[in-house]
Amino acid sequence: MTNRKYRAAVGLLSLLAIPSLTRVAIAAQQSPPPQQSAAPQLSDDPFVWLEDIDGQRSMDWVNTKNAATIAALTRSPLYQSFYDRIKQILDSKDKIANPEIIGNSLYNFWQDAEHERGIWRRTSWASYATAHPSWETVLDVDSLSKADGVTWSFGGADCFEPEYKRCIIALSRGGSDATETREFDLTSKTFVSDGFTIPEAKTSTAWVDDSTLLVGTDFGSGSMTTSGYPRITKLWRRGTPLSSATTVFEVPPDHVGGFAFSVDAGDRRYLRLTDAVTFYESAQYLYDRGKAIKIDVLKDADLYLVRDQIVVYVRDPWTVGGKTWPTGSLVAMSFDDFLASKRDLQLVMQPGARETINRISSTRDYLIINVLNNVRGELRRYRHRKGAWSFDRVPAPDLGTVGVVARSSRSNRYFFTFTNFIQPTTLYVTAENGGVSEIKRLPAMFDATGLVVEQMEATSKDGTRIPFFIVHRDGMKHDGSNPTLLGAYGGFEIAITPSYSSHTGAAWLERGGVFVLANIRGGGEFGPQWHRAGLKENRQRIYDDFTAVAEELIKDGVTSPPHLGIRGGSNGGLLMGVALTQHPELYNAVLIQNPLLDMKGFSHLLAGASWMGEYGDPDKPEEWAYISRYSPYQNLKSGTKYPTAMFTTTTRDDRVHPAHARKMAAKMESLGIPFFYFENTEGGHGAGVTNAQVAKEYALTYVYLWQQLGVPNEVKTGGR
């Protein structure tokens, strides 16, 4: 796992357009089991009791608010049509079955009406290339849930390479980050009766060999960090109890966590250990014959190992070997020489002024680099030969998002997708020689006739140009009457790029709504500097950027406050909370999903301590001084006219505590401010586990948006 994958694993995920985590990243999720409750935070907080996740009083409150919201929003004739349409899309057998390359087979996790919790299945390369592949079920999660009496959610598989006979399967209750892990035999398609099994926890595993694991999990008192992640990694040999495993790596309890992972680098295999000091700083080690060998790179750099090369993505300027590599550089050299203290680094790529390296993948011989050029994606393929790096561009469409979805270190074949707001996602496959061919295309899930996409800019308070995409009908009137939905994320160096959202298309664009995606600071759209411009004491810049886009839409006549709604999840939910409390006059709908809102207590709730590198430490007076100026929960005031907001979260979200949404809604209730509230009992840090659960939440939220922004005859009372 690279630093960047680690950050994605333990960070906040946008509910708008973030690709799925890798199977390794899934294993890194960790927090108290979902039935446990975090300790109350503030004695003077009248709603601290809502932090008791499954407490009777808390759940009575949740059930009451859910019932009120469901009763109010399902009265609309839009609800059932939205639910049926979205459920049909989610269950569609015409969806692209994105592959994962494991050994010589292609694997896929699939959900539809017959497989609510999903099946993990496989097929051959030849069969996958046909219109109707022949799939072999490897694991049926619905059948497993029935047999175990547990509502399991599939959390991914980490398989031992290159044999690919045994895997560590992660299973979570209701979609939570904490997982139970079990060893699985891919040949017999059964769990290994006497195999590696780890009780429910946030667990990190790495195969050392086919009989040995590196394991980081909850070993008991003192084995977890204050962020809720493993701090101790142990060597566990087959046939011995977990309690007898030997400690090989340990990090301090106030660090984010310690993680182990294996790297299949083609003709070499590496074991790596990471001491995640903060969210953005990590110490990297190579685990070799019982020893942890320090890899001497800057703590904020991303590190990749490809065949015999160490590849480093530079965030802070790095002076090494008599040369200074600037921010954003990608450099490389022989890993063996690097460990021998040589520093003959070579430049692989230096992005231009409006470019950034968004993601890096590798095949047997190539680095595949996803580059954003003014938030438009392209793929470049780099190879190291005869002591030098060279590249060519991978043929792919323009004006959208390109991303690798499956690759292997054992060949040069890989799969990538192209998508944008109105063009259905297309899957491409490459040949060993680099040739590219289309292999699957998603059918149109909504009618995009007459829709156009523009990229525009707003000017933020400090003069910074903020790009945004706008999707609308051709010939749209600029009279301020268009129902408009504005989304953004703005955090954790995560770039938000165009994507084909079937539910947004079917329930919003197709009905005449305008959709806007803002690329505000805090994200990774223009590299590390774009992110760092909004860290900690500078966070208000992110919120000013968002406000600038909203004001530009109003100024340009695209919309007006009665018709402007906003939507964001997780860190984007915090953004929505700030927009609500700082500029309630600009919006008539505010959809706040799985949010952070109580920034006074966030670092004490579940995985919150791991994000202090992004927001700061509210327990330090000098840092609370700037956090307090925007924290939505603390800045909600009586006597202010707010738009009717809607909160969504899940009881089983063990990453961002559901109390953030609960307490904000309860405070609104105490101040007589109307709102809608919906909390799914399953779903983890998302909208649900089954397609039915997801469709229900989506349908409720789109009814809410249309009632607030575009359907004047609908009832607009909040779910109090």
List C-alpha distances in Å: 655 to 190, 212, 709: 30, 29, 31
The Cα–Cα gap between 296 and 305 comes to 14
* DSSP tag of 577: H
* 3-state DSSP of 290-310: CEEEEECCCCCCEEEEECCEE
DSSP E strands: which ranges in 619-700?
645-650, 675-680
Distance CA 513, CA 715 (A): 19
334 catalytic residue (yes or no): no
Beta bridge partners of 467: 457
Are 263 and 273 in contact, with CB atoms under 8 Å apart? no
φ/ψ of 201, rounded to 5, equals: -175, 175
The amino acid sitting at 648 is: T
Buried b (16+ CB within 10 A) or exposed e, 195-209: ebebebbbbbbbbbe
Tell me if residue 685 is catalytic. yes
Reduced DSSP (H G I as helix, E B as strand, rest coil) percent helix, strand, coil of the chain, to 5: 25, 35, 40
Helix, strand, or coil here: 38?
coil
395: nearest Cα among 420, 376, 416, 411: 416
Do you know the residue count of the chain? 720
Q: Identify the active-site residue in 262, 409, 570, 631.
A: 570
Encoded amino acid at 436, one letter = V
Q: How many CB atoms lie within 10 A of CB 26?
A: 19
First to last CA, the chain: 45
The secondary structure of 523-551 as a DSSP string is: SSTT-HHHHHTTSGGGTHHHHHHHHHHHH
- Number of other CB atoms surrounding residue 112 within 10 Å: 14
| Cα–Cα nearest to 355, from 527, 236, 535, 484 | 527
Distance of CA 586 to the CA centre of its chain: 28
Could you give the CA distance from residue 490 to residue 545 in angstroms, rounded to a whole number? 9
- Return the active site residues: 570, 685
